[in-house]
Every structure is written in structure tokens, then in C-alpha cells.
Structure 1
């Protein structure tokens, strides 16, 4: 997913503020789901489930700067009954700037408890998961 660095994304030195890398990754995961036909609001309304971030491990390798054109690359690195593991990289051309491992839990929104990923989603995700 392409991302442009705007002034609002940077600190006073014109360098992307560290938390904004996570925002870029969140947007990319949302667009990944949308591209597979799963709108998050529709999922919540129809199935009563949503995805929440359970954990993040992030490595900041090199800074992005104001006006940089970036690409967020998202890969489904693991799939379990009630969670998804993503590997996400933020690239500037061929240079890797940021790498994150993000675990999402599928949650029953009413009970606020983990629940199995709906079968149709699980089946669709299996075709995109990187083999172990």
C-alpha cells in the first residue's frame, strides 16, 4: 500500500514520528482485509466480531522524512484459530525502513473475549498465509 509522508506525520526535524509507522501499518492491514472482501464495520454488524492488536514487535531501521513516498508491505505470516500474525515492512524504494510483527486477536465484541475467526474468513486467509 503506498503512503506519502505529510507534515502532520513528522516531528520538528521533518522525520516521521515513531508511532506513525504503526498507523501506516494499521491502514495497510485494513486495506488488506478490504481487498479480500471483508469490511470491518460489516464484519462487526454481521458476525459480532472484530480484530484487536494483541502484540507488536517493531524495529526502526532508518528514518522516513517529509514528502517521502513509502510502501507498506503486509504478509500474513501465521494463522491460528483466533488470531492472525502479520509481518509488515515499510519501504522507501528498495530500502527497508521499518519492520513489525503484529498479532491480531479475533474478539467477540459483545463479550470482549477471544473467539474463533469466522469460517469463511479462515478459509480465505489460508490461501494468503505464508507456509511455515
Structure 2
């Protein structure tokens, strides 16, 4: 499968991100990935607040399959690399890798679904938004 698009967003690890063992608490990796997805959409001029208000749609996580490879620690500087694998009618499949230099720390397959804000039911991704997501 050929990736459609990749976006890199930096994250620094703070004490608040770590557990009593001094490593990043497992659920915080999901927070880093969420922030990277938000910044990816912003980089495409897709403001989630505007989409919700104007278009009555929002993107929500439908599925996550995550693999923890190496523990990150306080003050590590990492990158969250988000790659678009596939854009369907109402779902976008992503790979999100958390890296330090070229070393993989965490990898996840994430599916985000486009839903209507009133019904919370799947909604087709509007053509213009889909086109923006497909831009290399």
C-alpha cells in the first residue's frame, strides 16, 4: 500500500507525561497521536470547530491498534509521523508512528470516521475535504 500523505509533528516529554517508573504512561501516546491528527487537519486548513459548526461533521476515532516498542522518558524529543493510508467514503485509515530520530517507539493503525454532529451516524466525507486530504 502506497501512503498518500505524511505529516510530522514534534512532541517533548514532560514529567506530567510519565508514570512512577519514569517512562511515558501508555495512554499518553494516544494523546500525542490525537494532537498530531489535529495539527495535520490544521495544516490542511481544516479547522475542526468550523467543520462541526458549519458542515455539521466531525472526525472521531473508530478504531486503534497500537504497538508499544520502546519506552520514552522525560525530556525526550519525539516526532509523531501521521501517514494517510486510505481515504474511504466515510473513514480515513492512518498509520501513526512515534519516533526519536529514526528509532520507532510506538506504532498505531488508526481509523477515523466522519460522523454527523446531530446523529453521530457515519457521514460521507465531503468531496472538498477529501480532496484536501489527498493533496501530497
TM-score range, shorter chain: over 0.9
Matched, 1:103 2:111: yes
Q: For 1:112 and 1:72, how far apart are their aligned partners in 2?
A: 28
Gaps of 5+ in 1: none
2:99 aligns with 91
Map 1:2-21 to 2 at 5 A: 2-21=10-29
TM-score, normalised by the number of residues in structure 1 = 0.95
Q: For 2:31 and 2:112, how far apart are their aligned partners in 1?
A: 15
TM-superposed deviation, 1:119: 1.2
Map 1:72-91 to 2 at 5 A: 72-91=80-99
TM-score, normalised by the number of residues in structure 2 = 0.92
Q: For 2:135 and 2:57, how far apart are their aligned partners in 1?
A: 21
Q: Post-superposition, which runs of at least 4 consecutive aligned residues in structure 1 deviate over 4 A? A: none
Work out which structure has the larger RCO, using CA pairs closer than 8 Å and 6 or more positions apart in sequence: 2
Figure out how many residues of one structure are paired with residues of the other and give that number. 128
TM-superposed deviation, 1:97: 0.3
